[in-house]
Chains A and B, each alone.
Chain A
């Protein structure tokens, strides 16, 4: 475990010193500033225009805004996860960074675990902080707070940790560029699956709902995001709930108590495949 922590600390330091981290930090600041301005205006301008009878305006506006912030946070977290890991094995081997480390008496699985822990820690802390900031900004702008605070953050963090693992697995077999493209396409596939579910719900299509649900189980980072999203308005009822679910970032979907178990199993399988692939690979 000491070796894994040494590698994790190395990966952590590497992450913080890479330019991508600065880029993501700047993008995040820009996003949060814009978000605060937008949230303030949204609460302010809808104060008189809303609500239709039976819809709680602060809850509708707040949850929609925070839902959008959650999506943006997941996207930024995905960018970070991908760029920190896309070349972790094959890319680093091609650049000659990996061989001096792997020759040391550190198992390849340990090495991979260390890289995973380092990147996962950075990404999980990052999304949790951005989400928490968005919650505070939303509350400060409109006085609305989500029904559940911690679980959505944990699920967002879980989603990016899964993406870190998927990107690490890809890095064993694919070149850095190909891997980056592949992971973003998977991310996009998950997103499309979620949108199909919302369309399916709006037009009452069982087929679209089934496609969406299966996509989310196959790509559980999407299921975690959807599950976290629905927890923002878990206690909403009646017309407010109906209005929230119609919005582009509202509603989400509950995946039940098995989602954490499935996600952990999924993570273990992905990391196991990555370790097996790395062990078999000639460097």
Chain B
């Protein structure tokens, strides 16, 4: 079943077109990375999915209901790029409030599980104002998971986290996939997206300019051969060409110390797609 689908989605802010006919689909349990430069329309797309912004045209459907409707919002968890919880609330109180609003019957057990999932079990009674930015970010992720949503919108979830925190979030994303929760991950961290996402979509000026599985998007870039003469790259060569290249080097009396098939990284794909906008 499709968790999130948009067709011909448009959004204009006055004379500025933020989205220009975006088509996108996210299956249940799928992890989709949304990439693009600042102002490409990523946050707008996420906000339309959450019902925070109304589209100017096209359709957005969340778990079978129109995005923004009560039914759609019941299926959604959201972590905003810029968010804040009241400083006077404890972690437990924040989750408790969201449980009531999400009509979750999980109670104390759900709160405990979520705080454990994001590594905040020891901070249950700590006030938000006494938490580091990274802890607040992780509390934000726990908040987004209240009520067991079927679709999660994460807008830059690791922007305030240190490397260890990012690894924790990657672990959480893997766990969500195992629970069949669909995730739309909006991130600038290409390495992170490459590591965890099933598919990526690259937005530029409000349009999808590339999408697919990371391995489909990454193109062969040639074969790197290290010989006594140094390292050279045979552009355009494929994995299938390796035996021939080895044989040729041998015939030329060059000892081979290493050989590597090169593929473009997601960063190369991204930079090719967005061009000067990067």
Chain B associates with chain A? yes
User: Which of A100-108, A170-178, A232-240 touches B?
Assistant: A100-108
Q: With A100-B143, A105-B70, A282-B53 in contact, do A6 and B83 touch (Cβ < 8 Å)?
A: no
B83 CB to nearest A CB, Å:
4
**Given contacts A10-B97, A104-B102, A105-B101, A99 and B73 within 8 Å (CB-CB):** no
- In whole angstroms, what is the CA distance A104 to B50 when docked? 9
Across the two chains, which residue of chain A brings its CB closest to B70? A105
A265 close to B (CB within 8 Å): no
Most buried by B among A95, A99, A100, A101: A100
Closest to B144 in A: A100
CA distance A254 to B81 in the complex (A): 54
Q: Name the CB-closest residue of B to A280.
A: B54
Determine if A283 and B53 form an interchain contact, defined as CB atoms under 8 angstroms apart.
Answer: yes
A6 and B101 in contact (CB under 8 A), knowing A103-B76, A105-B70, A105-B74? yes
Closest to B155 in A: A99
A97 at the interface (CB under 8 A from B): yes
Answer yes or no: B47 CB below 8 A from chain A CBs: yes
Chain B residues, CB < 8 A from A10: 97
Question: Do A106 and B84 have beta carbons less than 8 Å apart?
Answer: no
Q: Say how far A77's CB is from chain B's closest CB, in angstroms.
A: 23
Residues facing A in B24-47 (CB within 8 A) are 47
Q: How many A-B residue pairs have CB under 8 A?
A: 63
| Contact yes or no, A14 B86, CB < 8 A | yes
Q: Are B82 and A96 in contact (CB under 8 A)?
A: yes
Contact bitstring A79-102, B, C-beta under 8 A = 1, else 0: 000000000000000011101111
Q: For B52, give its contact among A3, A13, A103 (CB under 8 Å).
A: A103
Cα–Cα distance between A17 and B89 once the two chains are bound (Å): 10
Q: Are B88 and A14 in contact (CB under 8 A)?
A: yes
Contact of A96 among B13, B84, B97, B101 (CB under 8 A): B84
**Which chain A residues in 1-45 approach chain B with CB under 8 Å?**
3, 6-7, 10, 13-14, 17
CB distance B52 to A283 under 8 Å?
yes
A2 to chain B, nearest CB (A): 8
- Chain A nearest CB from B173 CB (Å) reads 19
Chain A residues whose CB sits within 8 angstroms of the CB of B52 once the complex forms? 99, 102-103, 282-283
CB-nearest residue of chain A to B103: A105
Q: Is the CB of B101 within 8 A of A99?
A: no
Q: Which of A100, A104, A105, A282 makes the CB contact (< 8 A) with B80? A: A100
B4 at interface by CB-CB < 8 Å: no
Chain A contact residue count (CB 8 A cutoff): 21
Contact A104 B84 (CB under 8 A): no
Interface residues of B in 85-124 (CB under 8 A from A): 85-86, 88, 97-98, 100-103
- A97's partner among B13, B70, B85 (CB-CB below 8 A) is B85
Q: Which residue, A14, A105, A282, has most C-beta atoms of chain B within 10 A? A: A105
Tell me the complex Cα distance, A95–B85, Å.
Answer: 10
Residues of A with C-beta under 8 A to B71? 105
A13: chain B residues within 8 A (beta carbon): 88
User: Chain B residues near A105 (CB, 8 Å)?
Assistant: 70-71, 73-74, 101-103
Q: Is B78 positioned at the interface, with any CB of A under 8 Å from its CB?
A: yes
Query: How far does the alpha carbon of A3 sit from the alpha carbon of B82 in the complex, in Å?
Result: 25
Chain B positions 1 through 35: 1 when the CB is less than 8 Å from some CB of chain A, otherwise 0: 00000000000010000000000000000000000
Q: Does B51 contact A (CB under 8 A)?
A: yes
A107 to B68, CA, bound (A): 10
Report the separation of the CA atoms of residues A91 and B102 in the bound assembly, to the nearest whole angstrom.
Answer: 24
Are A104 and B53 touching (Cβ within 8 A)? no
Q: Give min CB distance, A128 to chain B, whole Å.
A: 26
Collect the chain A residues with CB atoms within 8 Å of residue B78's CB: 99-100, 103
With contacts A100-B78, A106-B101 taken as known, whether A282 is within 8 angstroms of B54 at the C-beta atoms is: yes
Query: Closest CB of chain B to A83's CB: distance in Å?
Result: 15
CA distance A282 to B68 in the complex (A): 12
Q: Lowest 3 CB-CB distances: which A-B pairs, in order?
A: A104-B101, A96-B83, A283-B52
B residues neighboring A (CB under 8 Å): 13, 47, 50-54, 70-71, 73-74, 76, 78, 80, 82-86, 88, 97-98, 100-103, 140, 143-144
13 A-B residue pairs with CB within 8 Å: A6-B100, A10-B97, A14-B88, A96-B84, A97-B83, A97-B84, A99-B83, A103-B50, A104-B73, A105-B74, A282-B13, A282-B47, A282-B52
Q: Which residues of A contact B (CB under 8 A)?
A: 3, 6-7, 10, 13-14, 17, 95-97, 99-107, 282-283
